[in-house]
Amino acid sequence: MKTRSSGQPRAQRAPEAARLLQLYSQMLLIRRSEERLSTMFADGEVPGFIHLSIGQEAVSAGVMSALNAEDTIASTHRGHGHAIAKGLPLEGFFLELLARDEGLCRGRGGSMHVADMSVGMLGANGIVGAGLPIALGSAMAHQLLGRKAVAVAFFGDGALGEGVVHECFNLASLWKLPLLFVCENNGWSEFLPSSKQIAFKLGELAAAFQLPHVAVDGNDVAAVADAAEKMVRGIRAGEPAVLECVTTRVRGHFEGDAQKYRNPDEVAKLAERDPLRLTAMQLQNMGVAEAELASTAESVEQRVEAAVAAARRGRDPDFEAARADVYSRVEGNHG
Amino acid sequence: MAELRYLRAVNQALNDAMAADPAVILFGEDVGEAGGSFGATRGLRDRYGPSRVRDTPISEATIAGAAVGAALSGLKPVVEIMFMDFTTLVMDAMVNQAAKARFMFGGQGSVPMVLRTPHGGGLGAGPQHSQCLEAWFAHVPGLKVVCPADPVSAYGLLRAAIDDPDPVIVVENKALYAMRMDAPERLDIIPIGKAATIRAGRDVTIVTYGATVKTALDAAERLATDGVEAEVIDLRSLQPWDEAAVLASLSKTHRFVVVHEAVEAFGIGGEIAARMADIGFDELDGPIVRVGAPFMPVPFSRALESAYQPTADRVIAAVRRTLD
């Protein structure tokens, strides 16, 4: 992997190294959180289904580095990275994944529905492709209410088979909505390679809808961040766009999926493209000391462990309180 | 008093809501330049501009899904789905997203959106432009469903729906769009969840909503000539519904008939009948009888459709059955 700043004078590369270190730290936070979730899931501490984004952290960290607090995102079933990078409080996140009353969604949503309206995270989603229209509507609101904000729709390459992708590309282009489509192309649609399911290239689809399309190495966090920043600038000026991040799904479709449908050599080779490894190498080439990476790792570890400990102390939610909260107000008999 | 048409009442409610709150926006197929395929949004694009009254492509799933996103981001969208039959295409947005967002996000915010859509037959519109599918939505926790039977309710319930912090499906009956009635100059909001007793009677309760309110009233007038006084309740709101008002009427008449244009089996009437059979068991002096459409698609031919739709004759027969 080509490094971006080797050979530059130190005065110029310092801010770039600082930025990359920040992105590295964000990716590491996602990675360690998901690794922790993986072991806790295996131990039976995390209920339900979880879908890990290990190997895809550069997309979350890179795209979110181009966004402001008032920008909104609609996420996917594989949304832990999006949530963490958008700035959800880590304790509230873990409390939710452990189904606690103090969780961000009071233990009613869990991994596939984690959301935090206060940071513009409009929800992970259990339905493939469903986030696109939601992000599109959010972009309409930004446009109509005269906000400078943008909305981002995350989706995987598996979602390309969904009709709403086509509807939303059309509408975003037609209405010049402040909307960034981010395709996390990990090559897999659940248990099948997307090549067996999708007959077109995303770039060609985007072109058909007159949407600018950029494909980047989705495991190169600086490349993702640079592309996202440039596209978000264009989007704020009224040009919606499609960012395709070619990335790697290391784990199964869901946690516990033994991936028997995958060649073990292919999975083993993914380590070469590990976004954390690549970024660590880039940082070292920029002159960031090993000790600094280690101390970043240590502080991330501490944050994750503190969040896990807090989540373990959480309460079970109360059934009657949940039942009373289906509607904002109740008039008459609902059944 | 002034004469008010149903369709005009819908238009007036949209206009007044938009004038009162700049967050209210309209979008859907042909709601802008064309003023709505039935004319419900006529004039609104000129008054409020193309940003707030937007024509969309024929993309129902995204119309509804975008309403969810817009509602989560500070707007109060009112979307139109041209025929209720087309709501098959909005099911993910309504059932998985709109209905659940408030609950599954732990009460963070809500989804203040309205989906307006016309149901009902009688126009020879055939199997895919006539269905009454309101029971599907009433079955989903998190959604509200109203079904106005007259112009005053069409205004009042739509205003209430737009003001409501939660997603509301407003089901209009397209056969009623031309209906006229005398209405007060100042139209009021009608609260969701409240039924209206539109004819008082001591002998039998007929609970209904939408276009069959008229059918039930016709039946009640004919029964009165035979000395049977039917009480007719217009539910107005199906989810939530006014269980207390229905039970109070049953407790007075002790006979119970429920009528709707929708297919009888597995419908709204079945739910109401089951509740009354439970909490009203001691009040019942006869069987609860349902009147609805038979279990078949809405047919196209006038000869078939007129046999398909509930009639006053069938309501009278149902009343006779419970009185026997």
> What's the mean pLDDT when you consider all of chain B?
97
Q: Residue A13: its pLDDT value, please?
A: 53
Distance in angstroms (rounded) separating the CA atoms of residues B64 and B17: 20
Q: What is the CATH number of the domain that holds B258?
A: 3.40.50.920
Number of domains in chain B: 2
**Cβ(B297)–Cβ(B264) below 8 Å:** no
Tell me: do B257 and B172 sit in the same domain.
no
Nearest of A108, A59, A33 to residue A217 by alpha carbon? A59
Same domain, B70 and B163: yes
User: Which of A115, A127, A328 lies closest to B165 in CB terms?
Assistant: A328
- State how far residue B101 is from chain A, nearest Cα, in angstroms: 9
Are B296 and B269 in contact by the 8 Å Cβ rule? The answer is no
Domain boundary among B158, B183, B208: B183
CATH number of the domain bearing residue B20: 3.40.50.970
ipTM field: 0.96
**In this structure, is residue B164 part of a structural domain?**
yes
Same domain, B125 and B204: no
Per-residue confidence (pLDDT) for residue A333, from 0 to 100: 85
**Three-state secondary structure along B181-232?**
EEECCCCCCCCCCCCEEEECCCCEEEEECCCHHHHHHHHHHHHHHCCCCEEE
Q: Which DSSP symbol is given to A178?
A: S
List for chain B the helix, strand, coil content (%; round to 5). 45, 20, 35
Instruction: State how far the Cα of A329 lies from the Cα of A335, in Å rounded to an integer.
Output: 15
Last residue of a domain, one of B143, B160, B183: B183
Q: Is residue B158 part of a domain?
A: yes
A117 contact B CB<8A: yes
Pairing of strands A213-217, B144-146: unpaired
A321 and chain B in contact, CB less than 8 A: no
A5 touches chain B (CB under 8 A): no
Let me know: does B17 contact B78? Beta carbons within 8 Å: yes
Alpha carbons within 13 A on the beta-carbon side of A19: 17
Closest Cα in chain A, distance from residue B140 (Å): 10
Give B270-277 contacts, CB < 8 A, sequence gap 24+: B271/A335, B271/B135, B271/B138, B272/B207, B272/B241, B272/B246, B275/A333, B275/B243, B275/B246, B276/B246, B276/B247, B276/B250
Q: Which of B78, B97, B134, B140 to mutate to test the interface with A (most CBs of A within 10 A)?
A: B97
What b/e sequence results for B210-222 when a residue is b if at least 16 CB atoms lie within 10 Å of its CB, and e otherwise?
bbbbbbbbbbbeb
- Are B155 and B260 within one domain? no
Amino acid identity of residue A175, one-letter, is W
**Distance (Å, rounded) from C-alpha A221 to C-alpha B241?**
54
Task: Determine, yes or no, domain membership for B189.
Answer: no
**Whether B135 and B105 share a structural domain:** yes
**Which of B118, B148, B183 delimits the end of a domain?**
B183
pLDDT score of A11: 46
One domain, residues B122 and B176: yes
Other Cβ atoms less than 10 A from the Cβ of A229: the count is 14
CB B206 within 8 A of CB B253: no
- The answer to whether residue B280 sits within a structural domain is yes
Q: Would you write out chain A's pLDDT as a tens digit for each of its 335 residues?
A: 444 444 444 445 588 999 999 999 999 999 999 999 999 999 999 999 999 999 999 999 999 999 999 999 999 999 999 999 999 999 999 999 999 999 999 999 999 999 999 999 999 999 999 999 999 999 999 999 999 999 999 999 999 999 999 999 999 999 999 999 999 999 999 999 999 999 999 999 999 999 999 999 999 999 999 999 999 999 999 999 999 999 999 999 999 999 999 999 999 999 999 999 999 999 999 999 999 999 999 999 999 999 999 999 999 999 999 999 999 987 778 88
Interval B192-200 mean pLDDT = 98
- Check: CB of residue A172 under 8 Å from CB of residue A146: no
3-state secondary structure A11-57: HHHHHHHHHHHHHHHHHHHHHHHHHHHHHHHHCCCCCCCCCCCCCCH
Q: H-helix or E-strand containing B173? A: strand B168-173
Residue B285 and residue B213 share a domain: yes
**Record: contact A115-B141, CB cut-off 8 A:** no
Query: Does residue B160 sit in the same domain as residue B245?
Result: no
User: Quick one: pLDDT at residue A6?
Assistant: 46
Domain-located, residue B153: yes
Q: What is the number of other CB atoms lying within 10 angstroms of the CB of residue A223?
A: 19
Same domain (yes/no): B53, B91: yes
* Mean pLDDT value across residues B303-315: 96
Inter-chain contact A331–B25, Cβ cutoff 8 Å? no
**Active-site option among B29, B80, B119, B129:** B129
Report the C-alpha gap between A41 and A158 in whole angstroms.
25
Residue B78 lies in a domain: yes
| Same domain membership, residue B108 and residue B50 | yes
- Whether B155 maps to a domain, the answer reads yes
Coil/strand/helix, residue A74: strand
Among the partner-chain residues A137, A328, A334, the one whose CB lies closest to the CB of B65 is A137
What pLDDT does B1 receive?
A: 84
Residues 215-244 of A with CB under 8 A from B: none
- Confidence check: pLDDT of B200 > 80: yes
Q: How far is B305 from chain A (nearest CA, A)?
A: 32
Q: How far is CA A245 from CA A136, A242, A250, A302, A318, in A?
A: 20, 10, 15, 30, 41
Yes or no, beta carbons of A332 and B242 under 8 Å apart:
yes
B218 Cβ contact partners less than 8 Å away, ≥ 6 residues apart: B312, B315
pTM, entire model? 0.96
B201 and B163 together in one domain: no
Q: How far apart are CA B270 and CA B158, in angstroms?
A: 26
B197 has pLDDT over 70: yes
Q: Are B74 and B111 in contact (CB under 8 A)?
A: no
Question: Identity (one letter) of the amino acid at B138?
Answer: A
Structural contact between residues A96 and A310, judged by C-beta atoms closer than 8 angstroms: no
Residue A72 to residue A154: CA distance in whole angstroms: 11
Extract the tokens encoding B153.
């309710």
> What domain range is B30 assigned to?
2-183
Q: Let me know whether B240 and B263 are in one domain.
A: yes
Residue B191 resides in a domain:
no
